[in-house]
Amino acid sequence: MPIAYPYKLSHWYGYDKDCASLTAFDSSSLYKDACGETLDQLYYHDGSSQLPANGDTCYSDSAGTTTLPAGQRADTLFGIYIVNSSGVVTSKALCP
């Protein structure tokens, strides 16, 4: 069935479901004390910087469908960030 012009928004619904505007970053796995841990994971966040900031949501997949579980992780600046149960960064700090 041909699509009538002009296009309706409903014609585009679900067109490219895996397209997400997330930023990839290297991180550690979940640790009680993340400082000094090996950066062995690739995660994704919805913020505007290279690394996640307070208030950004972090995901384990590039489609942004699975948020990170709560806990503490390390980032590439050898800092730590804490993610709550919704995958949102609640605090960041430099390692001592």
Tens-place pLDDT, residues 7-45: 555 555 554 455 558 999 988 877 666 677 778 889 999
In this structure, is residue 28 part of a structural domain?
A: yes
Q: Is residue 89 assigned to a domain?
A: yes
Those residues with Cβ within 8 angstroms of residue 12's Cβ, 6 or more apart along the chain or in another chain: none
For residue 42, the enclosing domain spans: 20-94
| 4 domain-assigned | no
Indicate if the pLDDT at residue 87 is higher than 70.
yes
pLDDT in tens, 61-76: 999 999 999 998 888 7
Three-state DSSP at 10 gives: helix
Single out the residue of 43, 56, 47 nearest to residue 86, CA to CA.
56
pLDDT at 68: 93
In a domain, 7, yes or no: no
Predicted pLDDT at 19: 56
The candidate with the shortest Cα–Cα distance to 59, out of 45, 73, 70, 47, is: 45
User: For residue 56, what pLDDT is reported?
Assistant: 96
Does residue 81 sit within a domain? Answer: yes
Whole-prediction pTM? 0.73
Average pLDDT on 67-92 reads 89
As for how many domains the chain has, the answer is 1
